[in-house]
Amino acid sequence: MSAATAPFDGLILGASLATLDAASGYGEVNDGALAWRDGVLAFVGPRSQLPDDARALAREVIDADGWITPGLVDCHTHLVFAGDRAREFELRLQGATYEEIARAGGGIVSTVRATREADETELLRQSLPRARALLADGATTLEIKSGYGLDFANERKMLRVARQLGEALGITVRTTYLAAHALPPEFRDRADDYIAAVCEWLPPLHREGLVDAVDAFCEGIGFSPAQTRRVFETARALGLPVKLHADQLSDLGSAALAAEFDGLSADHVEHTSDDGVRAMAQHGTVAVLLPGAFHVLRETKLPPLQAFREHGVPMAVATDCNPGTSPLLSLRQAMQLASTHFRLTPEEALRGTTVHAARALGLRDRGVLRVGMRADFVHWDIRHPSELCYWLDGRLARQVVAGGRTL
């Protein structure tokens, strides 16, 4: 139906649009018009090209300035957990090593303990404020991983809470099964047995509709490539896509392993080799950059950014929101950190949290402003999109809309 016969649910006039609907550039439209109907974008373009009766037919008309971008997509978070590790942060600053903290009962084991002790209601209560903080600064889609339960019941509990967050907030939440995150105390020195259990738990969780993708931590302090392969083969047999914590601390060929399984993404990737970059390019695997962890851990090894550019590997940016290494509650702040630490341009950072982040979740209906795409967008109080990476903290979002509904 045309705009003349089918009214818009909403129409914004006058703001500039960063459509990102091209291979490069912001896709800038000055004095723009953005309209949506039934949760889908119905007009994107200059105000001068609107039908004459569009304003009269729109159920709501907003005259605006500033800029509108696609809604931000946080494609890597661990935001469902109980407790925090602020004390450990203080201890690290005082010189304590990770091993010393772990021996004292801290580290990931402390988060696992707190998460296991919390019931679903409490876990949801603690997780909601974190999700709301991400939304307030422009996120309209979240990926949430399990991985702090490390047994069937508690991994299931985490995934159920992630689903409940999406329902409570009216947004898309993509769930990722990350039971292969760390070795729980009850499986000490029995990593192969634990991986067998991880593979056994996946089918029933998938049957419950709780799993959208499968991840693992492939690292010397995590799980080996061979163990990761077993998890990925189980996922592939179920038709589930895979992602991977890859090459964060060393090069085990993890990014190439993710690409071999046509992985949606390889995440962290600080130590990824040229062979890994080429494999990612060949298989269309997105590189997810996580500058929050890089910043908190005071890392110095940069991801192979120029190689990603040269080989055409899409670079996404995410918060990696987690209690230990990236207590980051703003995707826009992650963009700023990516610009500062990794030298991404503001355009690359914005594409990394929209176009490429959506691709890292296998979502093709968002990430750009285009007719027919999901009506996820943010109206920002800025004079140019580069300000999204320029300002340190502060709330710049005037309106955050997901599926045509203001959050």
330 near 137, Cβ under 8 Å? yes
User: Is 245 annotated as ligand-binding?
Assistant: yes
376 near 11, Cβ under 8 Å? no
User: Is 379 annotated as ligand-binding?
Assistant: no
What is the Cα–Cα distance from 18 to 28, expressed in whole angstroms?
Answer: 5
377: three-class secondary structure by DSSP: strand
Q: Which of 210, 209, 267, 202 is nearest to 236 (CA)?
A: 202
Q: How many CB atoms lie within 10 A of CB 373?
A: 21
Compute CA distances 242 → 5, 135, 144, 195, 326, whole Å.
Answer: 44, 25, 14, 16, 22
What is the Cα–Cα distance from 328 to 115, expressed in whole angstroms?
Answer: 19
Compute CA distances 79 → 124, 303, 305, whole Å.
Answer: 10, 24, 27
**Counting every residue, how long is the chain?**
407
Chain centre to alpha carbon of residue 301 = 22
Kindly tell me the burial class for residue 384, based on how many C-beta atoms sit within 10 Å of its own C-beta (0-12, 13-18, 19 or more): middle
What is the Cα–Cα distance from 316 to 329, expressed in whole angstroms?
Answer: 17
User: Is 384 annotated as ligand-binding?
Assistant: no
HEC string of 14-77 equals: CCEEECCCCCCCCCEECCEEEEEECCEEEEEEEHHHCCCCHHHHCCCEEECCCEEEECEEECCC
User: Is 374 annotated as ligand-binding?
Assistant: no
User: Is 78 annotated as ligand-binding?
Assistant: yes
33: three-class secondary structure by DSSP: strand
296: three-class secondary structure by DSSP: helix
User: Is 325 annotated as ligand-binding?
Assistant: yes
The kind and range of the H/E element at 231 are helix 225-237
The secondary structure of residue 145, as a DSSP letter, is: E
Q: Which of 30, 12, 11, 28 is nearest to 20 (CA)?
A: 28
The residue type of 246 is A
User: Is 71 annotated as ligand-binding?
Assistant: no
User: Is 97 annotated as ligand-binding?
Assistant: no
User: Is 322 annotated as ligand-binding?
Assistant: yes
User: Is 177 annotated as ligand-binding?
Assistant: no
What is the Cα–Cα distance from 402 to 374, expressed in whole angstroms?
Answer: 8
Binding site members: 76, 78, 85, 148, 181, 245, 248, 320, 322, 324-325
Binding site members for Zn(2+): 76, 78, 245, 320
Binding site members for Fe(3+): 76, 78, 245, 320
Binding site members for 4-imidazolone-5-propanoate: 85, 148, 181, 248, 325
Binding site members for N-formimidoyl-L-glutamate: 148, 322, 324
